[in-house]
Structure formats: C-alpha cells, structure tokens
A = this chain, B = another copy of it.
C-alpha cells in the first residue's frame, strides 16, 4: 500500500503518475463549498500532508464527509492528480471516503495555536501537532543517525544497566529503587539506584572490543525546574580504547557533524519548520556547523578570555572570575556565542571541579577533560581521557571514598589497561540544539520532571 511519503518520493523523482491510491490517516482540516470539498490529510509518513478533494457528484456520502472533523481517522480511495499550477504539486481526488474512527466534539486540538504548557498536559495527543510531529520524527532520525554512525565505525553497542549498585559520579541526587518489602534493600541485598551514567560499566567493554557505546536513559533526582534539566534523559556514551583527549575530541566533532548533516538531509521539511517558527538562524547555524572546524581552547585560556571580556565591560551575574571556578552557564554561552560564535571545546579543567576518573595532566593541577559548548544550549558534550594509571587512580578513589564499591573499575587498570577516552552526549539537549526548541519538556515523549508524573 502506498503512503503520502511514497507519493512525495515518486514526485521528487519525476515518476509520480495519475495512479489509483488507498490512503489511511487523519483529517487535519476539512472545508467545502457545498459541491466540492478539501481535506488536509496526513498519515504520519511525512511531515507534509496531501490534499484530498471530494466532490458531491463523485462520492456517494458527501453529506457525511462534510462532517468529518479535525482528528477523524479515514480511509481514502482515490486517484493522484498532478497539479503543477497549484502550491501543492499533487492532490488526491477521492472516489470513496470511509470513516474509520470518529473524533469527539471536545477534541482538545482545534485548529489554532496552543501553548506548550497546555500541550504538556495532553502529552498523549500532542504528537499530532506540527511542532511535535516534527520533533518526534527528528528524535527518531537523530537516534538512528547516531546508531548508524557508530555501527559503520565498528563500535559495539552495550546495554549498560539502569539499576545499579554503583553511583558513577558520586553525584548525589539519585533515585533509589525499592520494592514493597519493608527492608528497602531486600530485593538486591544492598542499596540500588537508577544510573546517572553508563560510562564506568561500558569501559570494561572498551577493553575487549576497542570501540563501544551505550545509549539509554539516565536519571537525576534534581529538585529544580529549569528548562534544561529533566529527571530522566537519554545519554549516548561512546568509549574508545587506545585514544587520547585529542582523538576523543576528533570523535566528538565527527559524530556531531555527521548526525547534524544526516538530519539536514533526511528532514528538510522539519528543519524548515523549526527555522520558520522557532529560530530564524537555525538552518544556517546547522549548515555552518557541518562545515566548520571546532576551535579548542584550554580552560585556563577560557578564564583569561572571560576576564578580558569583563575588563571590556561585559557584565556577568557571577562576576568573580578566577582560575579554579566552575564555569557558569552564562560564561559558557559567552565563550561559544560571543567569543567564537560557534561550537568550541574547552579542555583541561582544574582537577577539583571534575570527576575522579579523569586523567591527571602532567601539571598536577588539571585533568584531560573536554566540554563541547554550543550556542543556544551551552554544554552539549562532556568527555575526558580516563585515568589509566593504577596507582594514580587508586589514590584518587581512596580520597573519594569509592574504592570499596568500585574495586572492579580499578581492576581495569591492572589487567591489560590502555589509554582510553570517552564522552557523553546529552541526547535531549542535542535535539534542542537541532530544533531551537528551548524547553526539554517539549522534546521528550513524556517528560519526567520534579513535581509531575501524569503518564
């Protein structure tokens, strides 16, 4: 059976003919003048729909079709008609229109603009809006692009566990996993929580397969209500053996450019939509990224840049800029939105503000970390070369108090360890970057945030 996408594909190849078709989908709008009617019709196969034309003297249920409302499900039998003189390149002239599923009159999605807040309350219906149809198709295409890139580059996909007895980053703010048993540790015999990162678990696989990745949901119980944080979010975490920090940044740059180029190619209509309605600079920005060489500056240099900016009169809310500070969101955005006006890697952060597993540099003060900052979003990717020296890592783990829990992780440096690096891409943030949509609640199928869980 043909679908709308197949018709557009045939049209673009110059192969579309006046063929009979059967289509199954939903009414976007329906209007008529008493003798001829027009249904904007979409079956979900493409962002663009197709116009169904129905005439009183050609179908035997004109009076009923007249009443089919926005949201009704139809089966349409008809014929493709090329319309080179019209805005749309072709339409379907109906021979028969069958109502498959009616829509109640209180259907919340009427033909008008709805606020994001309203749509979040009807997360089971909002995929039907243009914004969310576009968002969730991009989400799917982006997932596939990442899987495909990694597969084609011989990375092995590892399903790291969601429930964990180890807390990777020692970050606090974790969700605990319990059963109805009165002892919360009954089921697993010890405290169990939802993973904040699959990195530690995937590292052991890098030491067999060389290149691996994990891609799945991760969790933080952050009691905050920002537009960029959710309690549940997807992370892509590749890990590369025999790779240093520079090789790591090469990999990050390549996969980001590949996936952006992939989406630009596969979803031009969706990207045009977001460029028109969400961010006028979007398409240009994405096309520029694909062609650019991402600049790499050290944290030390970044602090100098921020100080110089301050001396030139730039105002920061956190105005105490000093070496050793954590970069605030406004600092990150200054670096990529003003200083480079494009994506930039910041490398070699002070060891005290980064995780225990990052490799200590020869200066004894910084670690081989890299964050990719992008305009509009800030930190999109965080990565590092991992500490591969047994003694150095062990000392850090004793200091951090996680040696007992993670002795297996230290083992990886004892048994054929190698220099290795990896990174984490916040998948939802990448999707925000790709669309210009500003709230993480809108790019997730059913967002999980503090204070709310309707679905």
Contacts and interface: CB of A to CB of B under 8 A. Distances in A.
Contacts of A241: 24, 44
A217 B348 CA distance: 35
A147 B149 CA distance: 13
B136 A223 contact: no
A231 B187 CA distance: 10
A137 B194 contact: no
Nearest to A203: B124
Q: A interface, how many residues as a size bin?
A: 35 or more
Contact of A25 (B133, B190, B210, B223): B210
Given A231-B187, A412-B124, A453 B159 contact: no
Contact of A190 (B164, B177, B192, B453): B453
Given A124-B409, A187-B231, A189-B453, A158 B445 contact: yes
A278 interface: no
A417 interface: yes
A160 B3 CA distance: 25
Contacts of A143: 157, 159
Interface string A186-201: 0111101010000001
Given A127-B204, A179-B221, A189-B453, A100 B162 contact: no
A361 B161 CA distance: 39
A283 interface: no
Interface stretch (A56-64, A101-109, A302-310): A101-109
Interface string A431-455: 0000000000000111010111111
Given A122-B408, A125-B411, A127-B204, 4 more contacts: A143-B159, A158-B445, A161-B446, A165-B455
